Amino acid sequence: LWEELSQALSELPPAQREAFEKTELHGYSYRELAEESGVSEQALLSRKHKAVLYLRTRLRALYDELLAS
């Protein structure tokens, strides 16, 4: 599962990947990341939301495939 998640993360656009990884995996707050990256918190929320939607779709397909086998 980790390999599939890593693969899906690598397929994200860099800005979406950064927003997801730094907030979910590295514990950044949106404020910290906004200051570091020079974009608004709202932009980061949008990027992370898009990343989550993509990851959910990718991992759901994997889950469905596992159930079918």
User: What distance in Å separates the CA atoms of residue 11 and residue 34, rounded to the nearest whole number?
Assistant: 23
Domain count, the chain: 1
Query: Domain of 48: which CATH number?
Result: 1.10.10.10
Predicted local confidence at residue 62, as pLDDT: 85
Domain span including residue 26? 2-68
Over 80: is that where the pLDDT of 35 sits? yes
Alpha helices in 1-69 (DSSP H): 2-11, 14-20, 30-37, 41-68
The model scores a pTM over 0.95: no
Over 80: is that where the pLDDT of 59 sits? yes
Q: 44 and 23 in contact (C-beta within 8 Å)? A: yes
